[in-house]
Amino acid sequence: MDRINAQLFKDMIKSGCANLDNHANEINTLNVFPVPDGDTGTNMSMTFTNGYNEAIKCNSDSISDVAKAFSRGLLMGARGNSGVITSQIFRGFYQHIEGKDEIDVHDVALAFENGARVAYKAIMKPVEGTILTVVREASWYANHDYETEAFDLETYFDKLVRYASESLDRTPDYLPVLKEVGVVDSGGTGFLRIIEGMKSCVNGIEINFNEDKQEELVNPALVIENQEFGYCTEFIVRLDESYLKKFDEKIFRQKLTDMGGESLVVVRDDDLVKVHVHTLKPGDALNIGQRYGEFVKLKIENMQEQHSTIIANAHKDIKSAIITNKPAKKNGIITVAAGEGITKLFYDLNVDVVISGGQTMNPSTQDFVSKINELKNCENIFIFPNNSNIILAAKQAKDVLSDRNIYVIETKSIQAGLSAVGMFNSEADPEEIINDLNDVISNVEASSVTYAIKDTTFEGVEVKQGDYMAISGKGIITAGKNRKEVVEKLLDSILKDSDKNLLTIIYGEDINQEEIDEIQAYIESNFEVECEIINGGQPVYSYLIGLE
């Protein structure tokens, strides 16, 4: 095969999309930290799905038109850093083939090389050992081989996949942290899955989605809602005497995994077994648990309903984000948050729009564009992403709406976002605001406590699945089975010899008042700091701690 027309290109996109989607959970597990928010596979899948949806709507016989629609869909659907970079790769691909009805092998080779160049230019500080390295090395070597000795399309994709796989295997050499944890780069893995799907299609075998899906995946958000929302199922089982000695955590965990459980944590303490699992079939999880004993505690929550309620409350019960009838104002604020308490706090700080999201649910470029368009009455728009994996999507929205005065303040944590918004001078000019807020953000030290989803050793700290972990900056401070002890060790670490005196603790949906009282007492007994404790209601992270 020597040429690609519009229909074949659509088929290749679909096959690449299906292969990526089928491996999304595998890609998610490649996160360096063993935290339950690894979402690279999900972000890339949702991004690519949005591009695919736009591509199949295009009725043109020109591959240029299809590639343009595909590129636009990727751009608007981009989520997370990996999704934004993927959109830029295929933006560069489209730019090279623009105006062509069909393309040959050399066009494809040069288009992927251009995709690598465009993706690198989109990142202010490109990091080697990531998806950028994989696409650059694979496209360069494959094109070099073609220019040395021309070959057909099947051979080109064989080489592209082989070089991408070899490059992916080398990513730990660029990033020692990958080597230490024993994984390869997740974004690079996602790119490999995409081109593997395309290669398979070129060879006459189109890869299909594992689950039943419509020809057009109308709402890509449904994918993440099924995978990441579903039902949050928690229960504590008191083991029957017959199981006290023969209970096997590995077998029990595997049964819950086999029935489709995600974000799974199983912790045993003497005769009690605590389970946290996200599943579409909570009844199946309960049936498994009940085989071993009697329930001591049981909670099932529809996470999609929680997600929708947060949004509804934010518009109804908190501070209305419906601003179309409000008078013109100089500066508008958009921020990103998860958790009803945190959302309310942002609205109390005069934020105009809170986009629901954060860890495990990164907003897309389109999400930002839509909310910016709601703020038609604002001369300037300031966006606080509050997560390093959301900044690129926010910046891409700024590029899409280049006729608006949009400023992305690079807050990388909720803690930094709250401090920055709290010091926002709504009457100042943008340059003055940015300078002031950069000083505020640089003064915030952000830490957190969450649970581990796998065993690992990171910088000498051994972590077991189900352990609670204290994370400060880019390192794991400590880990253990007792959450309160982990929090206390984290506080010891960040407050010892610190000249900062304002401590903010935001506790999540899984924390009770007794634990909060004990932690507050520990702080008062051991440290001379001003401490504010806030019920954030956030998922995933038991504690978000800010020190400034």
Residues 116 and 212 in one domain: yes
Cα gap 469→467, rounded to integer Å = 6
What is the extent of the structural domain holding 517? Answer: 448-547
Q: Residue type at 172?
A: P
Query: 523 and 418 in one domain?
Result: no
- Does 140 share its domain with 267? no
Mean pLDDT of 84-104: 96
Burial per residue of 447-465, b for 16 or more beta-carbon CB atoms within 10 angstroms, e otherwise: bbbbbbbbebebeeeebeb
Length reported for the chain = 548
CATH number for the domain harbouring residue 121: 1.25.40.340
Q: Are residues 87 and 210 in the same domain?
A: yes
Tell me: pLDDT of 307 over 70: no
Q: Are strands 329-337 and 378-384 parallel, antiparallel or unpaired?
A: parallel
pLDDT at 220: 33
Give the pLDDT mean for 84-107.
96
Q: Which of 278, 392, 384, 265 is nearest to 331 (CA)?
A: 384
Question: Which structure tokens are listed for 535?
Answer: 């019920």
Same domain, 244 and 115: no
Of 63, 112, 65, 66, give the one whose Cα is nearest residue 92. Answer: 112
pLDDT reading at 299 higher than 90:
no
Confidence of residue 37 (pLDDT cuts 50, 70, 90): low
256 burial level (CB within 10 Å; 0-12, 13-18, 19+): buried
Query: Over 90: is that where the pLDDT of 120 sits?
Result: yes
| pLDDT over 90 (residue 133) | yes
Residue 27, in any domain of the structure: yes
Give, for 58, the enclosing helix (H) or strand (E): none
Task: Record the pTM.
Answer: 0.76
In a domain, 312, yes or no: no
Question: The tokens 């899906």 sit on which residue?
Answer: 213
What does the mean pLDDT of the chain come to?
86
Q: Which residue, of 171, 197, 224, is where some domain finishes?
A: 224
- pLDDT for residue 112 is more than 90: yes
pLDDT of residue 301: 66
Q: Residues 473, 380: one domain? A: no
In terms of phi and psi (left: phi > 0; alpha: psi -120 to 50; beta: otherwise), the region of 113 is alpha
Evaluate whether 495 touches 467 at the Cβ level (below 8 Å). no
Q: Give the per-residue pLDDT at 509.
A: 87
| Segment 509-526 mean pLDDT | 93
Q: Is the model's pLDDT at 297 over the cut of 90?
A: no
Same domain? 524 vs 376: no
Higher pLDDT, 283 or 18: 18
Question: Which residue, of 385, 414, 442, is where some domain finishes?
Answer: 442
The verdict on residue 311 lying in a domain is no
Same domain as 144, residue 7: yes
Identify the band that residue 327 occupies on the pLDDT scale cut at 50, 70 and 90: low
pLDDT at 431: 94
Residue 310 belongs to a domain = no
Per DSSP, 325 falls in state: T
Note whether 183 and 54 are same-domain residues.
Answer: yes
Which runs of E-coded beta strand occur in 280-384? Answer: 293-302, 329-337, 353-356, 378-384
**Cα–Cα distance between 398 and 169 in angstroms, integer?**
35
CA atoms of 286 and 303, how far apart (whole Å)? 17
Q: 464 and 359 share a domain?
A: no
Average pLDDT over residues 213-227: 37
- 425 and 485 inside one domain: no
- How far does CA 13 lie from the centroid of its chain? 23
pLDDT at 36 (0 to 100): 60
* Contacts of residue 245, Cβ cutoff 8 Å, sequence gap at least 6: none
Q: Which of 143, 57, 146, 68 is nearest to 101 (CA)?
A: 68
Residues 421 and 279 in one domain: no
Query: 149 in helix, strand or coil?
Result: coil
pLDDT over 70 at 33, yes or no: no
The pLDDT of residue 346 is above 80? yes
Q: Which two tokens stand for residue 286?
A: 């309960």
Determine the Cα–Cα distance for residues 158 and 145; give it in Å rounded to an integer.
12
3-state secondary structure of 276: strand
* Number of domains observed in the structure of the chain: 4
Residue 519 falls inside a structural domain: yes
Q: Does 366 map to a domain? A: yes
**pLDDT tens digits along 196-208:** 999 999 999 999 9
* Residue 449: pLDDT band with limits 50, 70, 90: very high
pLDDT at 375: 92
Longest dimension (CA), the chain: 75
Does a structural domain hold residue 466? yes
